[in-house]
Structure 1
C-alpha cells in the first residue's frame, strides 16, 4: 500500500442487507439494489448509511439515507467508521464507479470482500468535511426541488379528485386530446435531441423530469412538443404518465397525446394520470406477458367533466405548478452536472 492510500475496509464497515423485515409498519424506508422500493416497520441500517446495489443490473448503484432504514439482501450496507464523514463515504463510493468491479456474467455480483479491498486516496477529516459539504449542498437543493415536484403532483391529483367527485357530466378522452401518430425515422433525429424512453418516466408521477440525448437512437421514434402528455403504453400498470417540459422524441412504447385546446391540458394530464384511466388501460391492453394499451381504448374512455369554468380554473392551477416544476427540473440538471464535474476534483482516486 502506497503512502497516502487506504483500503475501503479501513474506513467503511460493510454488511449485507436482509430479505424480510417482518412485522407491519411504514416508519422506515426500504432500499433495494437501486433505491427505495417500499417501507417497513423495522430498520437494519443506521442513519447516514450508504446503500450499494449487490446483485443484478443495478449492481454497484449507490444511495444515501439520512434516516434509519431497512436494506434488503439485494444490497450492501456501508457505514462510516469512527472519525470518518458518512456523507463523504457516499460520494467516495459514487466516485469509484463500483459496477466495474462486479463479478459474474449471468447475474452480476458485488461482495463485501471486493469492496473492502478497493484502494482509495486517504483524506483528512477536514478534507472529507469540505468535499462533502460542497457536494451535499448541491444534492440537498436537488432534493428540495424533487420534493416540490412531488407536492405539486399530490396537489393536482387531490384537486382533480375533488372536482371529479362533484362532476355531473363526462367526456371522452379524445375530446380533450389527440394522438400524435407520425413517426420520425432515426436518420432525421439529431444526436443532441431530447429522448424519452420508458425507463426515464417515473412511476405515478405526472412530471417528466428525466431524459437523455438521442445519440444512441437507431429506430423510428415519436416526436413530442413541450406541453404534450406522454402515456407509457407498454405494461401500463407501471403507471408511467407525465407532462413533457421539453420537446424531443419518444419511444414508440409511449403514446404522445396533445391537448385539443390549451385550457384542456391540465384536465387531460390529470385524467390520463389518474388511477382509473391507468387501471382501464391495464385491463384492456393486448398481450399477456407484455401488454400494450391502444389509443382507441383510451380515446373512448369517459372521464368526469366538471364543466368549462372548473376545467379552466383547474388548468390555471396546473399550469402554474407545471411552470414551477419545469424550472426546478432544468435547475436540477444544471446542479447535477456541476456536482458530477466537481466530484473527481474534490474526491481524488489513486493513479496507477
Structure 2
C-alpha cells in the first residue's frame, strides 16, 4: 500500500477565469463554461473541493481552467495520469469530506489516503480498458450535441422563411395529471431539473423514484419537458422514457405526433425561453406559466414543412436515444470493472 500523496500532487483552482473560449472551465461538478487561459495541464483530474459536489471526479484530456471550488490532481512522474482519474473515482472521495453545513475536502485528507501500489504496467492496463469505455461514451455525447445543433439550425432556417405564425398551444397540450407519492413505484423513472442539461434537447439522464416523497407529474416517452423554475437555465428536452417529473417541470404533449419535432424545436428555442423568462412570476425563484407559453406565437412553415421537419427530428432523436442507451450500458460495465482493475 501507499499514500495517495506519493502518486498525486494536489493544488487548488482559482476564481474568475479570463474571458475567452479557448479552454474549458471546470467547477466542482464538471464543465461550467470556457476561459481564455488555463491553470491545469493536459490529462489532469478535477476533484470537487467544497459544497454538494464535494468529492466528484472529472478528467480533462486537454489544458483547462479549474475554479476555486475544485482541486487539480496531477500525476507524479512515472504514474499514468488517466489511472489517477480512475483511482480517485474508486476511492469515493465524498465519504472523506469534513463539515456538515459546507462539506470540504482538504489536501491533507487526500494526501494521506491509503491506496494500492500498482506497477506502471497494471496502471496502463486499467486506464486503457476503462478509458476506452469512457472514450466511446464521449463520442456518443458528441453525437447528441451534434444532433441538438442540427435540429436548432434547421429550425432557424425554416423559421426565417416561414410565412405564418402559430401559437405553442396549438401544437401541444399541458399534461396536468398529478400522481401522489404513494402511487409512484420505486423503480419508475424520475426526472428532476438536475437531470435536464442546459440548452440541450435530449433527456438521456434520469434516476429511479425510490426517493420521491411528494406529488409529481406523469409523462410519457415523446413528451417535451420544460423547466418552469428559473426558465433562464434553458432546460427543455424530449423524454426518451415514461416516468414522473418534478412539479417544477411542465410536461407538454404534442397534439399531432408528426408535428412533435416542430413543437420540440420551438419550445427549446431562444425566443420561447426568453419569453418565458420575461413573463415569469417571482424574482428570486421565477416560475414560468403554461398559459403564457401556450399563447406565445412562433414561426409556422406550413403543415407539410412542419411534418417533414418532424420526420427529420424524429430520425435524429432515435439515433441519439440509441447512443444514450449504449452509453448507459458502457457506464454500467465501466463501473463494474473499476473495482476489479483497481482493488
Instruction: Kindly indicate whether residue 28 of structure 2 is the aligned counterpart of residue 47 of structure 1.
Output: no
- Alignment partner, residue 14 of structure 2: 18
- Alignment partner, residue 311 of structure 1: 306
How does 1:227-242 map onto structure 2 within 5 Å? 227-242=222-237
Which of 135, 157, 172 aligns to 1:140? It is: 135
Instruction: Kindly indicate whether residue 263 of structure 2 is the aligned counterpart of residue 268 of structure 1.
Output: yes
- Alignment partner, residue 202 of structure 1: 197
| CA-CA distance at 1:296 after TM superposition | 0.5
Instruction: Kindly indicate whether residue 71 of structure 2 is the aligned counterpart of residue 76 of structure 1.
Output: yes
| CA-CA distance at 1:21 after TM superposition | 3.3
| CA-CA distance at 1:313 after TM superposition | 1.4
State the alpha-carbon separation in 1 of the partners of residues 200 and 215 from structure 2.
Answer: 26
State the alpha-carbon separation in 2 of the partners of residues 297 and 327 from structure 1.
Answer: 34
State the alpha-carbon separation in 1 of the partners of residues 9 and 156 from structure 2.
Answer: 48
Instruction: Kindly indicate whether residue 160 of structure 2 is the aligned counterpart of residue 171 of structure 1.
Output: no
- Of the structure 1 ranges 90-99 and 212-221, higher mean CA displacement relative to structure 2 is found in 212-221
Secondary structure, counterpart of 1:58 in structure 2: coil
- Alignment partner, residue 212 of structure 2: 217
Which of 5, 10, 23 aligns to 1:9? It is: 5
Instruction: Kindly indicate whether residue 245 of structure 2 is the aligned counterpart of residue 256 of structure 1.
Output: no
State the alpha-carbon separation in 1 of the partners of residues 125 and 2 from structure 2.
Answer: 19
- Alignment partner, residue 282 of structure 2: 287
TM-score normalized by the length of structure 1: 0.96
How does 1:54-93 map onto structure 2 within 5 Å? 54-93=49-88
| CA-CA distance at 1:310 after TM superposition | 1.2
Post-superposition Cα deviations, 1:263-297, rounded to whole Å, max 9, x if no partner, equal 11000000000011011111111111111111100
Which of 148, 153, 156 aligns to 1:158? It is: 153
State the alpha-carbon separation in 2 of the partners of residues 141 and 21 from structure 1.
Answer: 30
- Alignment partner, residue 298 of structure 1: 293
Superposition CA RMSD, Å: 0.9
State the alpha-carbon separation in 1 of the partners of residues 17 and 128 from structure 2.
Answer: 33
State the alpha-carbon separation in 1 of the partners of residues 324 and 202 from structure 2.
Answer: 9
State the alpha-carbon separation in 2 of the partners of residues 56 and 40 from structure 1.
Answer: 23
Post-superposition Cα deviations, 1:165-218, rounded to whole Å, max 9, x if no partner, equal 101100000110001111112121111111101110000000001000111111
State the alpha-carbon separation in 1 of the partners of residues 306 and 128 from structure 2.
Answer: 45
Q: Following TM superposition, where does structure 1 have runs of at least 4 consecutive aligned residues deviating by more than 4 angstroms?
A: none
- Alignment partner, residue 320 of structure 1: 315
| CA-CA distance at 1:330 after TM superposition | 1.1
| CA-CA distance at 1:44 after TM superposition | 1.0
Instruction: Kindly indicate whether residue 25 of structure 2 is the aligned counterpart of residue 30 of structure 1.
Output: yes
Aligned residues: 343
State the alpha-carbon separation in 1 of the partners of residues 101 and 72 from structure 2.
Answer: 23
Secondary structure, counterpart of 2:52 in structure 1: helix
TM-score normalized by the length of structure 2: 0.98
Secondary structure, counterpart of 1:13 in structure 2: strand
